[in-house]
Amino acid sequence: MARTVKSDRAGAGPPSAGRPLQVRVAGAGCCVPPPGEGNAEIEQRLGLEPGWIQKRTGILSRPIAGPEMAASDLAVEAGRRALECAGIAAEQIGLLLLATSTPDHLLPPTAPLAAHRLGLVGAGAIDLAGACSGFVYALALAGAYAQAMRRPVLAIASNVLSRRVNPRDAATVPLFADGAGAVVLAPDEEPHLLGIYLGADGSKYESIRIPGGGSRQPLTAEALQEGRQYIVMERGAALFREACRQMAEAGRRAMTAAGAQQIDWWIPHQANLRLIRETGLLLGIPMERTIVSADRNANSSAATIPIALAEAAAGRIRRGELLLLTAVGAGMTSAGAVLRW
């Protein structure tokens, strides 16, 4: 049963506009490592009361990549599974877009390596740094390229965030995890990518960040000793409310761009269950029409949406159903897309 999304246009400004893209998701795949440290172990190590993590986040377990695994390894496996699902040969792909906040190296980009290992001969390949909104950004760009060039595009999101959390920080250790998800977008005679919204609000740029490692704060021995290589999150209700508001607004604007009033399934960024529930209330979408994987897979940033999509495509969602994808992340970036499955 399709759900009507609540509309609140007051003060929202002009909606995103554009024509639906004549592309379809031909296949999806994901790569989720085995669970790492459990809630009880984390709570004991950090001095948290038993049950604190599940109560605050809804997360029961978090996949953690082995020490030999990097973002490219997860990306290659997810991409391979998406290609197999689509039944499209690697040499047909025209472009690989890799959304990641944890590339193998700052230089060179990781996408060319992933493309090489996947056998994408003659394809372009580039990284996208869109934080948690990165996959929806990649989906929008991939759809435009696939329609314009009439060639399939592989869009992957992959992160190894477990190596970017301070092991002593109770605000980040329970949340972040590792994983990768991918889709193949192929040209089609009918439009399936119906509406897109991409947003950014740089006034809240410092809310979630990794201070060290860029040109602003190079990673020196002193910076490493002070833990500037780790994720820092602004705490408090204000950031939570703003994240909910921006993700809900992205959903509304994507629906407006698509000219759609109802959806069958909502696939939000899997930050944590509290954010999903609160944003769902703003959108008027009940939990029974929401695809949730945060309890098992935690928060792998941009990878959460394609992971949830690939898992749901294995039996829960059906061809022809209308999906709403929404995300919000560091920057602050936000994004929404309406997709006919």
Active site residues: 132, 269, 299
The Cα 338–Cα 258 span in angstroms is 7
Tokens of 250: 């992205």
Q: How far, in Å, CA of 286 to CA of 305, rounded?
A: 18
> What residue type is assigned to position 242 of the chain?
E
Read off the DSSP letter of residue 91.
Answer: G
CB-count burial class (<10 Å; 0-12, 13-18, 19+) for 155:
buried
**φ, ψ (nearest 5 deg) of residue 269:** -60, 135
For the chain, what is the radius of gyration of the CA atoms? 19
C-alpha triplet 55, 61, 67: angle, nearest 5°: 140
First to last CA, the chain: 15
Report angle CA 317, 27, 128 to the nearest 5 degrees.
105
**CA angle 67–63–28, rounded 5-degree value:** 105
Our separate counts of H helices and E strands in the chain read 10, 13
**d(C-alpha 297, C-alpha 181), whole Å:** 12
Helix (H, G, I), strand (E, B) or coil at 197: strand
Pairing mode of beta strands 95-99, 333-340? unpaired
Q: What single-letter amino acid sits at 49? A: E
